[in-house]
Chain A
Amino acid sequence: MDLTLDKDGYLLDTTEWNREVAVQLACDSGVELTDEHWQILDLLRTFYQNFEHAPNQRPFVKYVANHLGKDKGNSLYLMKLFPESPAKLAAKIAGLPRPTNCF
């Protein structure tokens, strides 16, 4: 599958995204998607629909905590699923633009 990505590896046309695309984007980043991943990715896409931007770490963690509880809404859990920079990596796999104000 040929995907058009920006220089940081984010999907250029967010409407091209589907679950197959997500699997490929995850694979490119060395992540194998499980149900736990999907739960976060779906939630992140809901965030984007509601707020029209991809969150950086702080609101991402808080949003997950609000919806799935503190067991999952914490940096460690998200770091395990999406290593190094969860907000960026999850946004990338979810087919969203690079998180706003993410340094």
Chain B
Amino acid sequence: MATLHTVNKNGQPLELCLRVVNKGDSLLLIEDGVYALFEVPDILAELIKDVSLYVLEADVLARGVSNRNELEIELVDYQGFVSLTETNEKTLSWF
């Protein structure tokens, strides 16, 4: 039962998501959630060992957030977002 988690903000939404994310789940950072690339790169680097990490392209580009730590995080567009919801059994949004 893999789950797609979307996170739209650091702080509580990200923290609670990290607490319940299971191995094999996917995590997509959207809206202000993409600032996690700046704010908690070490956490993401640890997370990526067990979880597929994605960021929403439009939100990354809009905010000028770059992936300076060269983590293997995949950029997805809206079509990719939809595909992720299809390949996971559940979608859980943290906001």
Direct contact of A and B (CB under 8 A): no
